[in-house]
A and B are shown apart, each in its own frame.
Chain A
Amino acid sequence: DMKVTQMPRYLIKRMGENVLLECGQDMSHETMYWYRQDPGLGLQLIYISYDVDSNSEGDIPKGYRVSRKKREHFSLILDSAKTNQTSVYFCASSLSGGNYAEQFFGPGTRLTVL
């Protein structure tokens, strides 16, 4: 069963705390993505990973960093979270980095930073 998983699903943190969002996929997909979704703004790309230790910034990387040490796992880290990082975060994966490949999304993590 092809699946992208995200943990945790809901998270409340205080401003200045560190945040770790985790994503896994069981499809051996090369490319993985982190997006955030805010009302009226669609999906904004934070980082893209083409394979293990091959990561590139997306449109809004400031305040975020990522780690990919295994093909099936991709982590998003917020060092010293800010209130404007309150959002829904989606992880996705695709067979390759080509835009012709469908992106499969995880269920999302709703992060609230107080």
Chain B
Amino acid sequence: QQNVQQSPESLIVPEGARTSLNCTFSDSASQYFWWYRQHSGKAPKALMSIFSNGEKEEGRFTIHLNKASLHFSLHIRDSQPSDSALYLCAVGGGSALGRLHFGAGTQLIVIP
């Protein structure tokens, strides 16, 4: 059974800071790695995904994946108050056919 853990549970940063969110997983056969963002009272929405080892950048957001370490991360450059949200990592593939396992989330607050 896949075990997905996120750290930290919560994070408060000033506007303009670089923010790093972490996710670890337990199934080494996992193949698909996602970050979802959920603003307060809203639906989760896919932010970024990565399917192979390495790094992927989209605007201010970068994902790093290290399958050997069972770890991936999300980095936010120049954090904005609008980035304040619950960030959920999700892992799929391996033994989990057609489904994602979600972490409990990191609550990010960006102070203006």
Contact = CB atoms under 8 A, between A and B. Distances in A.
B7 to A, nearest CB: 13
B60 interface: no
Contacts of B68: none
A90 B31 CA distance: 24
B102 interface: yes
Interface string B7-35: 00000000000000000000000011010
Interface in B83-112: 88, 92-93, 96-100, 102-105
Given A42-B105, A99-B31, A102-B49, A58 B99 contact: yes
A40 to B, nearest CB: 6
B44 A107 contact: no
Interface of B: 4, 31-32, 34, 42-46, 49, 51, 88, 92-93, 96-100, 102-105
Contacts of B102: 35, 42-44
Nearest to B1: A59
A108 B98 contact: no
B103 A42 contact: yes
Contacts of B103: 42
A97 B88 contact: no
Q: Kindly name the residue among B44, B45, B49 whose own CB sees the greatest number of chain A CB atoms within 10 A.
A: B44
A87 B89 CA distance: 20
A42 B51 contact: no
